[in-house]
Structure 1
Amino acid sequence: MPNNEIQLTQHVAAPPAKVWSVLTDLDAAPTTLTGIISVERVSGEGYAVGTRWRETRKMLGKEATEEMWVAEVEPERRTVVRANSRGADYTTSFTLTPSGDGTDLSMTFTADADKSSFLAKLMMKVLGGLGAKATAKMMTQDLRDIAAAAEAA
């Protein structure tokens, strides 16, 4: 099964440094991002490669907790967060690009079931459309919330 990818971009009327500060403040995520219920650090302080946390969100009417980790960091330019759940690898990349009076914040989410079991691949195929719509909606709200917090800072 090929990768499933969703990419969205939000213009933020704030410089990359302010956007980066909001984006990488894991401890404030439950108050900044309306879709996050809680964040529990597993390892690491601040925001650096290897930092791990458990993030609880409400999606499709149910609470779900996933363990995530920072895989790449280019301060004020780009970061990559990864997770593995139910036989699929998930990658979320954020790219910050200076643009006019602010920053274009791009978010790309990729789900890869290539290495997963037949059942995981089947579930991804069956639930893919519904899951993709819910994920795109969640991503849109996250980008709006990050923009609002960075613009208010």
Structure 2
Amino acid sequence: MEYVTASRMIQAPVETVFATVSDIRSFSKAVDSVTRVEFLTEQQTGAGTRFRETRRMNGREHTTELEVTEYILNERVRMVSTAGGTVWDSVFTVRPVGEAAELTLVMDAEPQSMLAKVMMRLARKVVVRLLEADLDAVVQYCEQHREQSNAGGH
């Protein structure tokens, strides 16, 4: 079931935007609420990568294990996790729009129990707010990165 969809136009190259959302090391630099990342596989990018992401939400830390299940360079990355009795399937898609990039996040959620279904409905507004904040942080990070690259003569 589609749970959340959000998009942003980013004044940065597709490659920069994709690298930011597809590599948790870059994503954690962009998104302040990510406080810790622990890799569970030797590889750190691409399909098959597994990691634990710890986030600060509402003053508490929450850790989620994710796996990259699809990775098409500079186009899309899919990450899947199970948390709170729900399978979360998140797909970031990046496409060029002139010299900018459009980033779209589609998050599907499949509750595994009646309680998870109820909790999902109750938490939807909070999840949407957090994801919107993540995307805003990615925009800021990518656009600052572009400005720094341009200032450096690149």
TM-score range, shorter chain: 0.7 to 0.9
TM-score (norm: length of structure 2): 0.85
Identify the residue that residue 54 of structure 1 maps to in structure 2: 52
Task: Give 3-state SS (helix, strand or coil) of 2:136's partner.
Answer: helix
Q: 1:123 to 1:134 in 2, by over 3 A?
A: closer
Q: Which amino acid aligns with 2:28?
A: P
Q: How far apart, CA to CA, are the structure 2 residues paired with 1:136 and 1:122?
A: 16
Percent of pairs with identical residues = 26
1:51-103 Cα shifts (integer Å, max 9, x gaps): 01111112344321110010101110111000012321001110101112300
Identify the residue that residue 144 of structure 2 maps to in structure 1: 152
Offset, 1:148: 1.8
Q: Which amino acid aligns with 1:72?
A: E
Identify the residue that residue 42 of structure 2 maps to in structure 1: 44
Which of 92, 116, 120 in structure 1 is aligned with 2:116?
Answer: 120
Identify the residue that residue 6 of structure 2 maps to in structure 1: 8
Unpaired segments ≥5 residues, structure 1? none
1:54–1:68 contact (8 Å) kept in structure 2: yes
Q: 1:79 to 1:30 in 2, by over 3 A?
A: closer
Say what the alpha-carbon RMSD is for the aligned residues: 1.7
Matched residues, number: 145
1:35–1:138 contact (8 Å) kept in structure 2: no
